[in-house]
């Protein structure tokens, strides 16, 4: 890697890892809470966790997208094959789209179904979507489809990150992993 390129800035890294930790908790919570015969108490806890953390993510993801639009990614190493550049770009765009679609479809699914989101309700925020069974069903289908697409793209993302960290050792891992490499940074 070019030693004058210390990678992503602090804000981009903090947003990446806050969202990564949250999403990696949201996926198993979602998968477990929809299972038949699950203990009701555990199911309630998982639903409350999933709906409320997911609602916060709408805001955090919006911040991240705004930050990304105004702060371009650092250039990839010059010797990276063209297909890997395209794969990186395509998978990153897909991850951003899924990060937006998942919490929004979850919100619509819950509100169109007439269900509470405890944190938002406590703040007095009204439901922005009216009750509608067909809308709730469509949002539910989209949410599950997006979730399984996310799991697939994340598998590629993690594979690529490890490939850079362990095999290529080209500094791409260090562009996102904290702490930041020393060097000048705007
Ligand atoms: C343990 C889990 C993860 C690891 C090790 C990881 C690692 C990385 C690394 C090393 C990069 C920098 C790639 C580059 O320099 O081009 C990156 C970028 C990125 N990661 Fe992750 N990541 C993880 C989880 C996630 C999750 C859960 C999401 C989203 C749901 C995500 C979304 C992204 C996006 C969108 C980028 C591109 C950033 C940009 O250009 O704005 N990552 N990740
Ligand atoms: C990044 C954010 C999110 C991720 C990664 C995610 C992930 C998942 C996953 C993996 C499932 C299980 C899918 C299935 O087998 O049906 C699920 C289900 C569910 N999620 Fe999310 N979710 C997110 C945000 C939200 C939000 C914000 C809400 C509501 C405010 C929500 C509400 C639900 C509900 C109600 C279900 C049960 C499925 C249904 O009854 O239609 N999710 N989610």
Which of 9, 16, 106, 179 to mutate for ligand 1's pocket (most ligand atoms within 8 Å of CB)? 16
Q: Which atom of ligand 1 is nearest to the CA of 165?
A: 10
Q: Per residue in 81-120, pLDDT tens?
A: 999 999 999 999 999 999 999 999 999 999 999 999 999 9
User: Does residue 50's CB lie within 6 angstroms of at least one atom of ligand 2?
Assistant: yes
Which of 20, 88, 97, 174 to mutate for ligand 1's pocket (most ligand atoms within 8 Å of CB)? 20
Taking the C-alpha atoms of residue 181 and residue 136, their distance in angstroms, rounded to an integer, is 46
Taking the C-alpha atoms of residue 39 and residue 33, their distance in angstroms, rounded to an integer, is 9
Give the residue from 104, 99, 111 showing the smallest Cα distance to 22: 99
Contact 186, 4 (CB under 8 A): no
Domain boundaries, the chain: 10-75+88-176
User: Does residue 26's CB lie within 6 angstroms of at least one atom of ligand 2?
Assistant: yes
How far, in Å, from the CA of 158 to the mean position of ligand 1? 8
User: Does residue 57's CB lie within 6 angstroms of at least one atom of ligand 2?
Assistant: yes
For position 1, what pLDDT does the model report? 45
Go through the chain and tell me how many residues it has: 186
Residue stretches of the chain with pLDDT short of 50: 1-2, 186
Closest residue to atom 16 of ligand 2, CA basis: 144
For position 180, what pLDDT does the model report? 58
Q: Does domain 10-75+88-176 have CATH number 2.30.30?
A: no
For position 12, what pLDDT does the model report? 97
With H, G, I as helix, E, B as strand and everything else as coil, classify residue 185: coil
Taking the C-alpha atoms of residue 56 and residue 180, their distance in angstroms, rounded to an integer, is 27
Give the residue from 27, 14, 15 showing the smallest Cα distance to 146: 27
Q: Which two tokens stand for residue 37?
A: 């015969």
């Amino acid at each position: 890697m070019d030693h004058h390129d210390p990678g992503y800035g602090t804000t981009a890294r903090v947003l990446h890892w806050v969202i990564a930790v949250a999403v990696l908790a949201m996926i198993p919570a979602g998968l477990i809470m929809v299972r038949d015969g699950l203990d009701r108490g555990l199911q309630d806890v998982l639903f409350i966790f999933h709906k409320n953390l997911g609602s916060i993510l709408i805001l955090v993801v919006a911040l991240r997208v705004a930050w990304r639009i105004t702060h371009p990614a650092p250039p990839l190493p010059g010797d990276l094959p063209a297909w890997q550049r395209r794969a990186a770009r395509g998978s990153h765009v897909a991850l951003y789209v899924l990060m937006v679609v998942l919490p929004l479809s979850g919100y619509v699914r819950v509100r169109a179904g007439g269900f509470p989101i405890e944190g938002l309700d406590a703040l007095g925020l009204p439901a922005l979507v009216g009750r509608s069974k067909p809308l709730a069903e469509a949002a539910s289908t989209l949410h599950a489809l997006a979730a399984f697409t996310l799991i697939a793209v994340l598998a590629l993302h993690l594979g690529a990150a490890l490939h850079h960290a362990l095999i290529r050792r080209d500094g791409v891992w260090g562009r996102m992993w904290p702490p930041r490499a020393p060097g000048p940074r705007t």
